[in-house]
Structure formats: structure tokens, C-alpha cells
Amino acid sequence: MLFLAFITVRIGVFGLFHPTHLTVQARPQQVLLINGTPSHAADIRWNAAPAQITARDGGPTDFLLSIPGKIERNFRGTLSITSVGNELIPVITMDREQAIAAVVAAEFPDGTHIEALKAAAVLARSYYTASRKRHRNFDFCDTTHCQFHRSPPSAQHAASRAAQGTAGLTIAYQNQTFAPLYSASCGGHTLTASSVGLQPDPYPYFSVDCPACQRNSRKWTQRIEVEVTPTEQFRLAQKIPSNNYTVDKTTGVIHGRGEGHGVGLCQLGSNSMAAHGASFRDILNHYYPNTACSRSSQR
């Protein structure tokens, strides 16, 4: 897979599992260099770290990383494993474009239209470009705290093609690339960041109509026993599906639509736009008014 830039990012993986034991396996007919020693596999316990895993030439390689009995994923890059207390910290240094494809594949369901995936790739790239390092031992994690990240998809996967088709492009407001927000389903209209208690930095976000989500988003009801505070913090604390809701003060029941915070791009709506002929630039212009999509100067 050919990309324009070869910028790397350091992704911490498997942190939710707090691993004390990891195994690393080379792909068939390949050899890993593990702390300078050629090998096909490594079994690493918390008291045996640190470990550095590369190709034989010291560069990136393909490998299977697993927590025995819990999770395994294929990756490409170089792997460093350190320990904090009795917990192992695996960090993969990988090509940023591969990381972007992995995010798009993880965040957007199979069958999403390619133009919607291209818009998603621009957003993922903008996040990695604009965000400061978010963790002490690595740049970003593989959870929704940063961007949801699984194994990088194959070069033929639609998410990889979306990343390649938008290589280098980011979204900017007043000539400043920003880390954009998006949600699964806005319920019919997106929200400003300030309306749900989020700090716009630097983009203020705007409320835009999303007819497809109005027609097709999930309706839900939920009883709330406390006074409703319409903020994202309150939504998460009370496990409310979305911020698009009304309150029946007599019964304490809230009626809503959609899923997620509702700020920025709506995944359901963007896929509908793409299916009806919109380009990824059309999608970005709709959900992020007053922004520009251009090639990042970072290489």
C-alpha cells in the first residue's frame, strides 16, 4: 500500500486488559529481532520487560500480539514492551496512514459508503495531526479515549482505500488543523460543543440538520431519577444514549433519538449523504461549516 507520507505514531494497545503476560509471533516464514536476537516468537512476562521487537533490519515488521486466552491482533510496525509495576505496556510504532485505516475500519461499520469512509479518514488524520501526546508512555491509545483502533486492515479493505484516497488531507478552521468530534447518530440535527458542555478547541461547531438521521435514527426512552443537566458529562454519567432528547417533567421520562454526543459529523447521516452522491468534501463541508480540507504541511 503506497501512501504519500511516512509519519509514525506510537499507539499503546491492550491497556484495558492490564496485561501481565504477552506473546509475540512472527508471520509465517518471517523472523523477528527480539532484543537483538533473531526469533520466531517471544513469551514476555511483566518481570522480563523491557523488550524491543523489530524486523531483522531494525525496521517495521508484521506480527501477532496476544494476551493468552483474552485477545490477539495482527499489527505492522515496531513493538516496545515496558512494565509499570506488574503491568506490561505494549506500544506499537506504526505508519500513521496505517493507523488511520485501522481507526476507520474500527469506528465505521462494514458496508459504509467509500465517500463517507474518506471523510472519516480525513477526521482520523486530523485528530492524529492536531492532538498533543495524550499518554505518558505513548502518543495515543487504542480505545475511544483517543481513537478506537484494531488491527490495520488489508490494502484492499475499503478503509485502507479511503485512507490512501485522502492521503495527507486534514480539516482546518481558520488555518488551524483541529481534532474533530463525530458521533454515531445525531438524531436529526447536530449540536454545538458548548451546548453539551464541551470546550471547543479551536472549532466552535455548528448545529446542522441531518434529515437521514431524523428519519432513520433509533428512538429511545429512559427514566431519570435526578434533575436533568443537558451536558455530555451528565449523559455519560447517567448512561443516556444521546444528547438529542426532551424531558417529560411530570413522569421523569426522557424521549430521545440517536446515539452519542451529537457534535460534528453524524456517521449515519454521512453514509446516507454518500449513498446519494455526496463526495467526502461535501460531507465535511456540511457537518463542519466554515472549515477547509487541505493537504497538511506535516510530512
Q: Which residue has the cell 426532551?
A: 246
Cell of 166: 485522502
**CB contact at 8 A, 122 and 280:** yes
Quote the pLDDT of residue 299: 43
Quote the pLDDT of residue 222: 95
Other CB atoms within a 10 A radius of the CB of residue 70 amount to: 10
Which amino acid, one-letter code, is at 31?
V
Distance CA 212, CA 113 (A): 14
In terms of Cβ atoms closer than 10 Å to its own Cβ (0-12, 13-18, 19+), residue 129 is buried
Other CB atoms within a 10 A radius of the CB of residue 248 amount to: 12
What is the pTM assigned to this prediction? 0.91
| Per-residue confidence in pLDDT tens, the chain, 299 aa | 444 447 899 999 999 999 999 999 999 889 999 999 999 999 999 887 799 999 999 999 999 999 999 999 999 999 999 999 899 999 999 999 999 999 999 999 999 999 999 999 999 999 999 998 888 889 999 998 899 998 999 999 999 999 999 999 999 999 999 999 999 999 999 999 999 999 888 999 999 999 999 999 999 999 988 889 989 999 999 999 999 999 998 888 999 999 999 999 999 999 999 999 999 999 999 999 999 998 865 54
Distance CA 180, CA 186 (A): 15
Quote the pLDDT of residue 3: 41
Under DSSP, the state recorded for 196 is: G
Distance CA 73, CA 160 (A): 17
State the virtual CA torsion across 291, 11, 118, 185 in degrees, nearest 10.
-80
